[in-house]
Structure 1
Amino acid sequence: MDENGKFSTMESDVDGLLNLYEAAHLGKCDEEFLNNAIIFTKDRLSTIVKDPQLPKPILVRIEHMLSSPTQRRMKRLEARLYMSIYENDEDNDQDILELAKLDFDTLQQMHRHEVEKISLWDVEGARKVGKCYEYVMSHLSDTLDEFAAETVASPVGIECTKTTVASSGMLQEVAWREHGHVPSLHDYLKVSAKTTLYWTLACISFFGMDASNDVFTWTSTFLKILESAAIICRLMDDISGNECEKERSKCATALDCYVREHGVTVQQAKQVLTNLVEEHWRIINQEFLSNDRVPAPLLMRVLNFVRMMETAYKHVDGYTHSEEIADYIQKILIECVHQ
């Protein structure tokens, strides 16, 4: 930074810009320096990708990072997507790449076994079951890794998919019934967040060693990290799927609440709620880093849940329009990395 506190020495340093961009998304609350770093790096990288002379591998890498930082991506999906980028890196390590591919192959076989079992439940509802399994797979990726060595279907993944199928679609209805009218944004998020917590608690019941009495006591206090995770999930769903949600459930969305409460346009409301999502990501970072009470693997469940929403709802309502995320499902479950 120069004497005026502005970034000045890395205007064209792509690696430096990308590293700073990634690191800045780990910022906590009130870290204005990192907020400014995000703005600066995003602006510079967005300018660099417009250069027609930019080598394609660098272009692909920048566009990948700008679409969503690594911290917010589904773990296994990011591994699969990054392999394709790393393959074209002239400085790549072929041994590391091959080990990564073998690891991915092993876990992919387990996922396929799970999908095979799950697909037998309900042929008519296979589409919904499949999407719910994808969410569970991202939410519990660390737990599922434990079963990968035997390439067998994990009881955790299967049971949590059942829970997800049973509870999906009920969150807004609960918020609606609680108020009987279009509530304020604050009330809407308060009720929806608590309902999301109940779903999370149901999943925790399958976590085995992590689900001690102390952990259940912690979750029942509804600390900030759980609240922020639930609010991000609700907001991202409503921002990208506002029209679909209203048609499907006839219930108010967060956008409806904010528009009615403040008399703004839908686009203005979307921008405000998007900024609110960013605030809650910083709260999650802060709570995660300051935690000294709860096992880290459990907090990873919370983080992975929000990552799943980032993937499914960043640009479109991926739950309703599953064809929009079909490529992701293809890469995780079907495509072989050894081609």
Structure 2
Amino acid sequence: MASQYCINLLVSKTNGFVITSNAQRSRCRLIGSSTHKTTTKLICRFKSSLPHSLRANIAMPTKRGSSFPIVDHRQSMVIPFEVDVTDRIDILKKRTRELLMTTSNPTTTLNLIETMQRLGIGYSFEDEIEKILENLVEGPVEEDLYTTALRFRLRRQQGLFTNPDVFTRFMDPNGRFIESLSEDVEGLLSLYEASYLGAIGEDVLSQAKEFTTTHLKQKSVSQLSPKLHQKIQHGLELPKHMRMARLEAKRYIEKYGNETDHIPMLLELAKLDYNQVQSLHQTELAEITRWWTHLGLTSKLTFGRDRPLECFLWTVGILPDPKYSFCRIELAKTISMVLVIDDIFDTYGPYDDLVLFTKAIQRWDLDETEQLPEYMKICYMALYNTTNEIGYEVLKRHGLSILPFLRKTWIDMIEAFMVEAEWVKSGTTPSLKDYIENGIKTAGTYMALVHIFFLIGEGVTVENMNSLLDPYPGFFFTAGSILRLWDDLGTSKEEQDRGDVASSIQLFMKENNITCEEEGRNQILQLIENSWKELNLELVVTNKLFPHSIINVAHNMSRTAQVVYQHDDDSYFSSVDNHVRNLFFDPIDI
């Protein structure tokens, strides 16, 4: 039996709960796993506004050691809460709101908004930020490049219409950016960040990206202060528009205090808030673990992946706002189910069994389980019950009857798994187009986004419900393409070693007569860049059919895919381990 993520839970008023884990080598769809051999360490938490009966003492995998020991909760010590931070957070929020609403200088206001968002506290001031950005439509003619670009980026990422023509006054009569702008490094970097919100057909922003990238890369260390050089390097590595919110908050909080012009009040609020939200995430993990343990799926299907921690990582990337706690918990359940079904199709199920399973899912009738082998009956029942439970919860909370929508996404995904099985059985090499279209489904994109749309329950109308399936919304497809392509870039070698269907890299190389894999990977990166421009179209369109909340979710899914799969010498698996540890088990020192 493969090693499993084992999360042992104990909850009581005196002892709290302990989560222990070890890792399993496996394939990923929406998520992946770690091959690291692990030991454990203990992290203490602090008092927050969460239920006092849940006191978390967490055991988290580290890279030390060469085996998979598990910490026994009976040998663990629970460190008591020391500080009640709720009142202090409320005071700091009040003062921050006053500062935000009384700042009159546009540049100062925009800088304050960006700082708050990067620190991860912007969600507490959503209404104020929305109102301010709605009023900051356009600056004076003499406004500098830095402020113009920052205004553009903040408004557009908020879903407010912003015309890229605001940058034409920084261009010469030939339609090129004025070369002297290269001396304004802060302005250049601000324009660079804004260019990544460009959409298809916005040539001004495409030129801006090329112009700024070229000049920023030419800046030598001797020309810049260490602080500015570091900002440029980090921006070139990963633009702000593509960063995962909670990871960016952790990174920026740790850096912000070293800035000479930092606001101590914001820093204190960010630290307290980050740790409080981390405590919320630990409580959510406890709930997910209870459900997964009670489901008992992997105890019966020993070949299946058992990784709620990594499932939860994706949900936090996709839904970082604390108010979406219920949504994260339910989404983690669906991703956990995807992994087990993926393992049935990829590694365990004989072809004839897969045919029976697909037909049973298509009919979505419990009577169909009678013809299934025992291991498939268990999986079928778990999926059937979980889907019904989620449908019931949405009906209770939002008054929406959504089971036909949820059922359709699972049927589509299972049919796509079957298509892959047919390809493998017949030795068929699909076209790149067919591979991506099918791979978006098997990656769980449509399933996840449709579930999230209803779990959030914001802006749901008869019109957009009728436009949700057959076909799925275009931005669902685009986000899924980015996920699928990043998955291939991050895991293609492992999947090739397993004998899976050729990835997008190999298919692109074959169709375009490319022999160098590095060139093939670069071309896939270009496809991802084009997909981002398509996804950004949803930020440009007025009279949107779907609410900004689900559009933002699609962007967050793409961000999470890039952050998780874009790694250097580390494998995908170690990348996931590092993010899990960083987000859920390493608090910020107060």
Superposition TM-score, scaled by structure 2 size = 0.51
Q: Which residue of 1 aligns with 2:317?
A: 138
Residue pair 1:225, 1:288 contacting (<8 A) in 2 also: no
Amino acid of the residue matched to residue 336 of structure 1?
Answer: P
Residue pair 2:200, 2:534 contacting (<8 A) in 1 also: yes
Q: Which residue of 2 aligns with 1:155?
A: 326
- 1:282-315 CA-to-partner distances (Å, cap 9, x unmatched) read 1111123215211111111111111111111123
Match of 1:129 among 308, 324, 333: 308
Q: Which residue of 2 aligns with 1:150?
A: none
Residue pair 1:175, 1:192 contacting (<8 A) in 2 also: no
Q: Give the direction of change, closer, same or farther, for the CA distance of 1:334–1:207 in structure 2 (3 Å limit).
A: same
Match of 2:565 among 294, 313, 316: 313
Residue pair 1:240, 1:316 contacting (<8 A) in 2 also: no
C-alpha distance in structure 2 between counterparts of 1:53 and 1:119, whole Å? 52
State the shift of 1:219 in Å.
Answer: 2.3
Q: Give the direction of change, closer, same or farther, for the CA distance of 1:106–1:126 in structure 2 (3 Å limit).
A: farther
Q: Give the direction of change, closer, same or farther, for the CA distance of 1:61–1:331 in structure 2 (3 Å limit).
A: farther
Residue pair 1:229, 1:302 contacting (<8 A) in 2 also: yes
C-alpha distance in structure 1 between counterparts of 2:214 and 2:232, whole Å? 12
Q: Which residue of 1 aligns with 2:436?
A: 189
- 1:49-103 CA-to-partner distances (Å, cap 9, x unmatched) read x415743332332222221111111112212212233222222222222222232
- 1:11-58 CA-to-partner distances (Å, cap 9, x unmatched) read 23231121101110111112222122212222322232x415743332
Q: Which residue of 2 aligns with 1:151?
A: none
Residue pair 1:225, 1:284 contacting (<8 A) in 2 also: yes
C-alpha distance in structure 2 between counterparts of 1:219 and 1:108, whole Å? 33
Q: Which residue of 1 aligns with 2:245?
A: 75
Amino acid of the residue matched to residue 130 of structure 1?
Answer: L
Amino acid of the residue matched to residue 293 of structure 1?
Answer: L
2:410 matches 1:231: no
Q: Matched residues, percent identical?
A: 27
Q: Which residue of 2 aligns with 1:303?
A: 555
Alignment of 1:47-126 (within 5 A): 47-48=218-219, 50-52=220-222, 54-119=224-289, 121=292
C-alpha distance in structure 2 between counterparts of 1:249 and 1:202, whole Å? 32
State the shift of 1:178 in Å.
Answer: 5.8
2:533 matches 1:282: yes
SS class of match (1:10) = helix
C-alpha distance in structure 2 between counterparts of 1:242 and 1:7, whole Å? 42
Q: Which residue of 2 aligns with 1:270?
A: 521
Moved more, 52-61 or 14-23: 52-61
Structure whose residues are more often helix by fraction: 1
Amino acid of the residue matched to residue 318 of structure 2?
Answer: H
SS class of match (1:187) = helix
C-alpha distance in structure 2 between counterparts of 1:126 and 1:95, whole Å? 44
Residue pair 1:173, 1:251 contacting (<8 A) in 2 also: no
State the shift of 1:146 in Å.
Answer: 1.3
Q: Which residue of 1 aligns with 2:509?
A: 259
Residue pair 1:173, 1:249 contacting (<8 A) in 2 also: no
Q: Give the direction of change, closer, same or farther, for the CA distance of 1:82–1:184 in structure 2 (3 Å limit).
A: same
SS class of match (1:64) = helix
Residue pair 1:115, 1:130 contacting (<8 A) in 2 also: yes
C-alpha distance in structure 2 between counterparts of 1:79 and 1:53, whole Å? 29
C-alpha distance in structure 1 between counterparts of 2:476 and 2:527, whole Å? 15
Amino acid of the residue matched to residue 30 of structure 1?
Answer: G
C-alpha distance in structure 1 between counterparts of 2:271 and 2:460, whole Å? 32
C-alpha distance in structure 2 between counterparts of 1:205 and 1:22, whole Å? 32
Moved more, 228-237 or 25-34: 25-34
Q: Which residue of 1 aligns with 2:420?
A: 176
C-alpha distance in structure 2 between counterparts of 1:6 and 1:203, whole Å? 41
Residue pair 1:167, 1:199 contacting (<8 A) in 2 also: no
Match of 1:34 among 189, 195, 205: 205
Q: Which residue of 1 aligns with 2:467?
A: 218
Moved more, 114-123 or 326-335: 114-123
C-alpha distance in structure 2 between counterparts of 1:275 and 1:174, whole Å? 30
Residue pair 2:242, 2:562 contacting (<8 A) in 1 also: yes
State the shift of 1:244 in Å.
Answer: 1.4
Residue pair 1:176, 1:182 contacting (<8 A) in 2 also: no
Q: Give the direction of change, closer, same or farther, for the CA distance of 1:161–1:267 in structure 2 (3 Å limit).
A: same
Residue pair 2:177, 2:208 contacting (<8 A) in 1 also: no
Which consecutive residues of structure 2, in runs of 5 or more, have no partner in the other structure?
A: 1-170, 343-412
- The structure, 1 or 2, with the larger RCO (C-alpha pairs under 8 Å, 6+ apart) is 1
Amino acid of the residue matched to residue 321 of structure 1?
Answer: Y
State the shift of 1:262 in Å.
Answer: 2.3
CA-atom RMSD, angstroms? Answer: 2.8
State the shift of 1:182 in Å.
Answer: 1.2
C-alpha distance in structure 2 between counterparts of 1:210 and 1:96, whole Å? 32
Which consecutive residues of structure 1, in runs of 5 or more, have no partner in the other structure?
A: 148-153
Superposition TM-score, scaled by structure 1 size = 0.86
Moved more, 324-333 or 223-232: 324-333
Q: Give the direction of change, closer, same or farther, for the CA distance of 1:45–1:328 in structure 2 (3 Å limit).
A: farther
